[in-house]
Amino acid sequence: MIGKYTEELLRENQENFIVPAENVATLLYSHPLEHALLILSKVGYAKIPVLDTEDRLVGLIGLSDIVNKMMGLTGFDYRLLEGLTVADVMEVNVPTVLHKEDLEDILHLLVDGSFLPVVDEDNIFEGIITRKEVLKSVNHLVHELERRYTIEPKSVPLKNK
Amino acid sequence: MIGKYTEELLRENQENFIVPAENVATLLYSHPLEHALLILSKVGYAKIPVLDTEDRLVGLIGLSDIVNKMMGLTGFDYRLLEGLTVADVMEVNVPTVLHKEDLEDILHLLVDGSFLPVVDEDNIFEGIITRKEVLKSVNHLVHELERRYTIEPKSVPLKNK
């Protein structure tokens, strides 16, 4: 469990935790892989979310998923992407969080993924929580903690004041 | 400044902070881009360090750096990589840290990069510090802090005990 004061400090940057959907590059599952390659090579992110036509999250796709599909017996061949769509290579069953998710769960899930997709109860994509934003909050936490609070080890008896 | 108790807790996972050089995929600056593409599509990391023949760090290279070089006027063409080496597309002047670097600097630099190369005084590559490992320490910190310590706001008078 995260303590009260620790959580309070972490949450002071909370409004910036979520990068809203309109600011996140996404792909449709039905997009041709040639298009996906173009988008992914331009956005500067290793992976981006994949949506259906109702804006529901259906997976993630990364540049390496597509480059691997281009690998033929005699080297890389762009033509191997012909006829394939995002749905053919995307990663499915990705961890997601709800908008009001526990900070504890978010911090644990971000150990294994560079970002976490945020969805609503109907799996509609709302945005992402990135390690970058969470690390900004961590910087805030570790700098403010002992400036604002007095900390005493619990096992050591309190000195006379 | 990071307070004493906060830093102590963060450093309890310190031996795992650095992924040592022998466990990090790297490329030589003189490697052909075709080879770099193959390595990068396999390692599962968006970017990896580039070394010279003396194991000095000279840059970073990512899959998107290479894919962008394959983009011709009429689509992607693998043959556009012919004759090019890692040195032609790698990112140079990347932030690095020394082995004994301040935790404060490390936490700040990781806001803008998913990992930090660690070098010695002669710029010999020693390994990387990843957001993943640092986030493990952050999880440890936020869970242990109020379990081990009593925290009191400094502006509020201490209650009678």
pLDDT band at B53 (very low <50, low <70, confident <90, very high): very high
Complex-level ipTM: 0.85
Apex CA B52: angle with CA B51 and CA B55, to 5°?
70
| Within-domain flag for B155 | no
In a domain, B70, yes or no: yes
Q: Chain B window 108-147: which residues touch A at a Cβ cutoff of 8 Å?
A: 108, 110-112, 114, 131-132, 134-136, 138-139, 141-143, 145-147
Task: Tell whether A99 lies on the interface with B, counting CB pairs under 8 A.
Answer: no
- The structure tokens listed for B157 are 């008078």
CATH number, position B116 = 3.10.580.10
Contact between A126 and A18 (Cβ < 8 Å): yes
Asked if residue A32 lies in contact with residue A135, where contact means CB atoms within 8 angstroms, the answer is: no
Q: What's the domain count of chain A?
A: 1
CB B142 within 8 A of CB A107: yes
Does a structural domain hold residue A124?
yes
Does some domain include residue A157? no
Lowest mean pLDDT among B2-11, B18-27, B120-129: B2-11
A87 in a structural domain: yes
CB atoms within 10 A of CB A91: 12
pLDDT digits (tens, 9 = 90+) for A76-124: 888 899 999 999 999 999 999 997 778 889 999 999 988 999 999 999 9
Q: Which residue of A has its CA nearest to B105?
A: A139
DSSP A112: T
Is residue B142 one of the residues assigned to a domain? yes
Mutation target to probe the B interface, by most B beta carbons within 10 A, among A67, A116, A158 is: A67
Band (B15; pLDDT cuts 50, 70, 90):
confident
The verdict on residue A114 lying in a domain is yes
Instruction: Determine, yes or no, domain membership for A161.
Output: no
> Which domain, by its residues, includes A78?
4-148
Taking one residue from A and the other from B, the number of pairs with CB-CB distance under 8 angstroms is 143
Res A161 pLDDT > 50 = no
Written as six digits, the tokens of B144 are 């242990």
Residue by residue, DSSP assigns A68-107 as: HHTEETTEE-GGGGTT-BHHHH-B-S---EETT--HHHHH
Q: Once rounded to an integer, what is the mean pLDDT over residues A11-23? A: 86
> pLDDT grade, residue B146 (50/70/90)?
confident
